[in-house]
């Protein structure tokens, strides 16, 4: 289905409005690669006797990561925890992947049966291992089972791509994702803490459940994603704008933002805290945590014969600075 294009005009920090290229509602950008963090290590599984020999003979001198590699499933590369299964030749894999490979060893193709690798399970229970994100900066070391729980919420774990126009599976740290958004998704990048966008769409009574636009702003040394989209709510479409912070939730709370839309004697204002990109785009949208414009009000703002949607959304981002004397937060505006 051919969709209408959206015109967006943006100006930052007092700059004149510059024309920005048209955006289609859908932005298909294929991604054939994965980020460098998502890598698979080769596995040289041995039989059970050799595994125990390696562990017992090398524990005193080998780094914990060597033992950790023995506990990686050769199929999903996640850490194995009981029950750990093995084939008749001693090749191991996790219980989840055992069903995925249809009870055939992925290494030697022999039937797996129901053999447990009890020795490796006991080794797993006795180990203190570094977080798997240690190479990204996490310094923590945990008992084996605590480690698994920590890794699910580790602040150093990679972020998912915040682009909402397609199902993008790319993950990485913030600098990597900023470059990915710019180069692969062709997202508009701006420097400054204020913005002024104009969105134009013909036939506003038709709406696709898709993102209209994503813009990335760089200010206070951080990156923010401004989303503007249309989606069906009840019997009619609504238009929504919201900001996400490219970082963790604790950092996001240090910032605030405002959005304003209006024309023809009417105005809507939204003020709030940006959500972290740890929260998915859909989660933020479905929680309605942002500026929401009902269709009738959007048409009031547009004026004219109501056959074209014309919305001007302005906004700014500021940092909340703690005042040690007063004990309250005061806004630190971007110069």
3-state secondary structure of 191: strand
Task: Identify the pLDDT of residue 305.
Answer: 66
Percent of the chain with pLDDT over 90: 29
Q: Which of 124, 122, 117 is nearest to 78 (CA)?
A: 124
Q: What are phi and psi of 304, to 5 degrees?
A: 65, -145
Q: What is the pLDDT confidence band of residue 35, given thresholds at 50, 70 and 90?
A: very low
For 291-326, give one letter per residue: b (16+ CB within 10 A) or e.
Answer: bbbebebbbbbbeeeeeebbbbbbbbbbbeeeeeee
Q: Residue 54 above 50 pLDDT?
A: no
What does residue 68 show for φ and ψ, rounded to 5 degrees? -60, -40
| Mean of the per-residue pLDDT values of the chain | 76
Mean pLDDT over 192-221 rounds to 78
Extract the tokens encoding 255. Answer: 């910032």
pLDDT of residue 64: 47
Lowest mean pLDDT among 122-131, 144-153, 304-313: 304-313
pLDDT of res. 302 = 81
Asked whether the beta carbons of 103 and 75 are under 8 A apart, the reply is no
pLDDT of residue 274: 97
64-91 pLDDT per residue, tens: 456 767 888 888 887 787 888 989 888 9
pLDDT at 203: 66
* Cα–Cα distance measured from residue 280 to residue 286, given in angstroms and rounded to the nearest whole number: 10
pLDDT band at 28 (very low <50, low <70, confident <90, very high): very low
Residue intervals in the chain for CATH 3.30.40.10: 48-126
Fold for domain 48-126? Herpes Virus-1 (3.30.40)
In this structure, which long-range contacts are made by residues 308-311, counting pairs with CB atoms below 8 Å and at least 24 apart in sequence? 308/200, 308/201, 308/202, 308/203, 308/204, 309/199, 309/200, 309/201, 309/202, 309/204, 309/239, 310/198, 310/199, 310/200, 310/263, 311/198, 311/199, 311/239, 311/261
Tell me the β-bridge partners of 218.
191, 223
Q: Is the pLDDT of residue 60 over 80?
A: no
pLDDT value, residue 201? 75
| 3-state SS assignment for residue 319 | strand
Average confidence (pLDDT) over 40-45: 40
Percent of the chain with pLDDT over 70: 71
pLDDT in tens, 219-249: 999 999 999 888 877 777 888 999 999 999 9
Q: What is the pLDDT of residues 279-302, one digit of tens each?
A: 988 899 899 999 999 888 888 888
What pTM value is reported for the model?
0.65
β-pair partners for 122:
none
> What are the beta bridge partners of residue 79?
72
- Whether residue 267 contacts residue 277, with contact meaning beta carbons closer than 8 Å, is answered with no
Name which CATH class applies to 5-33+159-333. Answer: mainly beta
DSSP summary character for residue 185? S
What residues does CATH 2.60.210.10 cover in the chain?
5-33+159-333
Average pLDDT of span 133-148: 85
3-class DSSP assignment, residue 72: strand
């Amino acid at each position: 289905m051919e969709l209408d294009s959206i015109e967006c005009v943006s100006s930052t920090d007092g700059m004149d409005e510059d024309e920005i290229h048209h955006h289609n509602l859908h932005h298909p950008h294929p991604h054939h690669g994965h980020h460098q963090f998502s890598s698979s290590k080769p596995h040289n599984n041995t039989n059970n006797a050799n595994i125990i020999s390696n562990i017992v003979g090398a524990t005193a001198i080998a780094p914990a990561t060597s033992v950790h590699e023995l506990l990686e499933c050769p199929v999903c590369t996640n850490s194995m925890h009981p029950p750990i299964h093995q084939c008749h030749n001693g090749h191991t894999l996790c219980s989840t992947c055992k069903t995925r490979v249809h009870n055939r060893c992925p290494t030697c193709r022999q039937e797996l049966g129901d053999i447990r690798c009890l020795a490796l399970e006991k080794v797993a229970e006795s180990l203190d291992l570094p977080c798997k994100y240690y190479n990204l900066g996490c310094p923590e070391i945990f008992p084996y089972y605590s480690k698994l729980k920590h890794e699910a919420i580790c602040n150093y774990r990679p972020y998912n791509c915040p682009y909402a126009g397609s199902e993008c599976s790319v993950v990485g740290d913030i600098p990597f994702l900023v470059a990915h958004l710019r180069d692969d998704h062709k997202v508009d990048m701006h420097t400054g803490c204020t913005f002024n966008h104009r969105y134009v769409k013909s036939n506003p009574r038709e709406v696709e459940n898709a993102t209209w636009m994503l813009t990335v702003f760089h200010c206070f040394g951080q990156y923010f994603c401004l989303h503007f989209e249309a989606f069906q709510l009840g019997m009619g479409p609504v238009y929504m704008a919201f900001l996400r912070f490219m970082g963790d939730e604790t950092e996001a709370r240090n910032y605030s933002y405002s959005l304003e839309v209006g024309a023809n004697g009417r105005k809507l204002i939204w003020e709030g805290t940006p959500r972290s990109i740890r929260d998915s785009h859909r989660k933020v949208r479905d929680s309605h945590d942002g500026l929401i414009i009902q269709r009738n009000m959007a048409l009031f703002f547009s004026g004219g014969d109501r056959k074209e949607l014309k919305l001007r959304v302005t906004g700014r981002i500021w940092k909340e600075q703690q005042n040690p004397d007063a004990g309250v937060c005061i806004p630190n505006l971007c110069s």
